Amino acid sequence: MTQTQDEAAPMRAFDMARIEPDSGMSKTLHNGLEILELLAAHPNGLSVSEIAECIGVHRTVAHRLIRTLEAHRLCRRDEYKRISLGAGLVTLSESVEQDLRTLARPILEDLADTVEATAHLVVRESDTTVRAMMVIEPRRSQVHIAFRPGQVHPVNRGSAGLAILSTLPPTADERPEVDRARRLGYAISAGEVVSTTIGISAGVPRRVGGAQAAVGVSVFDATDEARIGAAVAAAARSLGDLLH
């Protein structure tokens, strides 16, 4: 094979958290999912050739994968053949932790309104990470923080992750903030996720089979820490009650 294109390092256009195709993974499915992640990073769409190059597969392979994704409504092609994510993802996404989110929504709305700050629901995703699943902005406030669901953070950075850890038995290497949260009923962190903003979160009591979760708010200053912390802890408790 003299002709093999040995481009060392296929030169990815996106440097997100890469997933290494470990043994025991389906290469084809992996490639298809990488296309979805690539498209998520390119709101204006990509051509088949661009996708093939970014993913590091032959153009015809990308073509076949795209056709398959398209059949499932997970991507679409506009009139100029550019490919972007499809509405089918909305349907799938709706089913993720559906009960948790359905029950959390009114509680978060309530919390956001009483604290007059943006409220969030965060779930644990792995040993080391959490992901924001829901963000509810207050109905009336002069100014408030806004951010999108879907963001991933280290579990030991930010109030939500600390709050989740505080619902678990103490470990040797946990941050002191975790035990503080265990005693107070809520966790607080400043500038760990977004600089200049303060997070105050409380862990939702553990339930079997369910994801570990936390609710909380993002505020600009913490002079009201005790009051806000109490409201957040109450919200987490009532959500836990609803989940049995």
Partner DNA sequence: CGTATGTGTGCGATAATCGCACTATCCGTG
Partner DNA sequence: CACGGATAGTGCGATTATCGCACACATACG
Piece of 29-37, 169-177, 196-204, 227-235 that binds a copy of itself (CB under 8 A): 29-37
Q: 131: burial class by Cβ within 10 Å (0-12, 13-18, 19+)?
A: middle
CB count in 10 Å sphere of residue 68: 14
Number of residues lying near a copy of itself (CB under 8 A): 63
Q: How far is the CB of 46 from DNA (least distance, A)?
A: 8
Q: Which positions ≥6 away from 100 have C-beta within 8 Å?
A: 121, 123, 133, 210, 211, 213, 243
Closer residue to DNA, CB minimum distance, 10 or 191: 10
> In sequence order, what DSSP letters do the residues of 79-136 get, joined into one string?
TTS-EEE-THHHHHHHTTTHHHHHHHHHHHHHHHHHHTSEEEEEEE-SSSEEEEEEEE
Q: Which does 152 bind (CB under 5 to 8 A by kind): a copy of itself, DNA, none?
A: a copy of itself
**Single-letter amino acid code for the residue at 170:** P
- Cα distance between residue 123 and residue 111, in whole Å: 18
Kindly tell me which residue out of 27, 139, 140, 183 binds DNA, with binding defined by CB under 7 A: 27
The mark string for 65-94 relative to DNA (x by CB under 7 A, - otherwise) is x-----------x--xx-------------
Candidates 125, 174, 179, 225; binder of a copy of itself (CB under 8 A) is: 125
**Binds 149, which of a copy of itself, DNA, none (CB < 5 to 8 A, cut-off by type)?**
a copy of itself
CA dist 5 → 8, 49, 150, 206 (Å): 9, 16, 37, 52
For 92, residues 6+ apart whose C-beta sits below 8 A from its C-beta are none
Tell me the window of 55-63, 163-171, 179-187, 220-228 that interacts with DNA (CB under 7 A): 55-63
Distance from CA of residue 125 to its chain's centroid? 8
**Does residue 22 interact with a copy of itself by CB under 8 A?**
yes
Is 63 an interacting residue with respect to DNA (CB under 7 A)? yes
Region of 18-26, 163-171, 218-226, 227-235 interacting with a copy of itself (CB under 8 A):
18-26
Which distant-in-sequence residues (6+ apart) come within 8 Å of 71 by Cβ?
Answer: none
| Residue 95 binding: pick among DNA, a copy of itself, none (C-beta 5-8 Å cut-off by kind) | a copy of itself
Stretch that binds DNA, among 27-35, 113-121, 177-185, 188-196 (CB under 7 A): 27-35
Binding-site ranges for DNA (CB under 7 A) = 3, 23-24, 26-29, 31, 47-50, 57-61, 63-65, 77, 80-81
